[in-house]
């Protein structure tokens, strides 16, 4: 998407606005499937939590993708988008047994990461196939906020609890049809991921009737021009070879599954915000935009860096700016960043805004959530309306005081 297209979108649909490029999503999906083309059975389950707009889900359904869900609401969104229940996996954490039971009634693949819930569910529903989420105790990324395979993580059943897990399976007679892990986001070293995969293979040997092994995801995408990313092609070559070897020794052709979110949609999205005012202080020049962490919280929550471009003045002289929002909290998107000269009314473009951006938006300070636009087959389509004051009041009940 070029600057002119983005400026036209900001003009037509207003700001702030999230914009997603369907072609980029399709290319990333094809890149991943191509990297694992040597595997006979490959299943990509898009992680809905990254970007849950129903039009984006329909795009993934058209590509032949499945989806990975973490709540019954995401399951319902997937069904509404046209996904068949068998193409949905439910991987919750800390939810009630009742929610898992309600999802199971929909015919969705269940993935359990808790021994207590596993025993309760297996006792009541021994004939419903269940996948087990293992914690391999491996840090694939470098940040404990986004790495979930380490020993102190709340996610997964510890590999040290496998004997107890096996006793539960034997006592309940339940059917385990899948083994799963997710080490976390921003995988830098594929050898660490492959090491964790070996732990998963060893675990899988304990179960004789598996249908699939799910390796999670967490593939790193570049957030700036010189940033590193997960080498998907190298990972595909090495893991495919090892997976095929395992299937041969296992005596069954299993499905290799992934659940990527950020890898598929992050680079496809940008966030456009208008500059309300440029404020000069004794030491800093602030570019204050019509947004805040109510719309894009990742820089404040994770310390993530998003490239910021002034698409209204792309050839202007570079100056140092701190880009901040309009929320009555410290909501700094960037400190002392080199950006082409910014003037009041300019449109700033935040890159890599497709994943975990709109899905984390809120109404803090009673601000409206922004609009969403999907560029599909060269046309910009509004896929979520900007909220209004009526939306703020929608579920509030006024009492007589």
- Residues with active-site annotation: 328
Sign, CA dihedral 280-282-285-288, equals negative
The helix/strand count (H/E) of the chain reads as: 12, 18
Residue 18: left (phi > 0), alpha (psi -120 to 50), or beta? beta
User: Cα–Cα–Cα angle for 341, 296, 369, nearest 5°?
Assistant: 110
Residue 273 · residue 289 · CB < 8 Å: yes
Spatial separation of the C-alpha atoms in residues 182 and 173, rounded to whole Å: 26
Residue 81 · residue 73 · CB < 8 Å: no
Residue spans of beta strands (DSSP E) within 13-117: 17-21, 42-47, 66-69, 88-90, 109-112
Sign, CA dihedral 76-103-109-182, equals positive
Tally Cβ neighbours within 10 Å of residue 213.
Answer: 23
Residue 5, φ and ψ in degrees, nearest 5 = -60, -45
Q: What's the Cα-to-Cα distance from 246 to each of 35, 98, 314, rounded to whole Å?
A: 18, 36, 52
Spatial separation of the C-alpha atoms in residues 152 and 236, rounded to whole Å: 29
- In 3D space, the residue among 285, 178, 198 whose CA is nearest the CA of residue 239 turns out to be 198
């Amino acid at each position: 998407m070029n600057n002119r297209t983005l400026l036209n979108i900001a003009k037509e649909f207003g700001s702030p606005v999230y914009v997603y490029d369907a072609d980029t999503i399709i290319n990333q999906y094809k890149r991943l499937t191509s990297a694992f083309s040597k595997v006979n059975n490959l299943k990509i389950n898009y992680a809905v939590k990254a970007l849950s707009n129903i039009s984006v889900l329909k795009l993934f359904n058209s590509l032949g993708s499945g989806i990975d869900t973490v709540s019954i609401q995401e399951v319902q969104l997937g069904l509404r988008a046209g996904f068949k229940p068998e193409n949905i996996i439910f991987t919750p954490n800390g939810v009630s047994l009742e929610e898992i039971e309600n999802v199971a009634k929909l015919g969705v693949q269940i993935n359990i990461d808790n021994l207590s819930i596993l025993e309760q569910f297996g006792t009541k529903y021994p004939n419903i196939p269940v996948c087990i989420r293992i914690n391999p105790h491996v840090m694939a990324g470098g940040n404990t906020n986004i790495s979930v395979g380490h020993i102190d993580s709340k996610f997964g059943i510890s590999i040290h609890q496998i004997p107890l897990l096996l006793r539960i399976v034997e006592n309940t007679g339940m059917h385990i049809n899948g083994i799963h892990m997710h080490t976390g986001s921003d995988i830098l070293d594929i050898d660490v991921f492959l090491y964790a995969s070996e732990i998963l293979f060893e675990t899988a040997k304990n179960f004789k009737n598996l249908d699939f092994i799910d390796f999670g995801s967490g593939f790193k995408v570049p957030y700036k021009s010189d940033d590193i990313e997960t080498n998907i092609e190298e990972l595909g070559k090495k893991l495919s070879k090892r997976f095929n070897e395992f299937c041969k020794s296992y005596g069954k052709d299993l499905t290799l599954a992934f659940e990527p979110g950020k890898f598929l949609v992050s680079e496809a999205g940008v966030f456009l915000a208008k500059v309300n005012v440029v404020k000069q202080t004794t030491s800093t020049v602030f570019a204050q935009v019509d947004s805040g962490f109510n719309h894009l919280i990742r820089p404040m929550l994770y310390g993530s860096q998003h490239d910021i471009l002034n698409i209204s003045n792309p050839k202007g002289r570079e100056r140092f700016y701190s880009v901040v929002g309009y929320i009555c909290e410290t909501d700094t998107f960037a400190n002392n960043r080199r950006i082409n000269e910014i003037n009041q009314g300019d449109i700033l473009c935040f890159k890599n805004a497709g994943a975990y951006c709109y899905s984390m938006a809120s109404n803090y300070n009673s601000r409206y959530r922004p609009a969403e636009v999907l560029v599909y087959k060269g046309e910009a389509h509004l896929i979520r309306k900007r909220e209004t004051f009526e939306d703020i009041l929608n579920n509030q009940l006024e009492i007589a005081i």
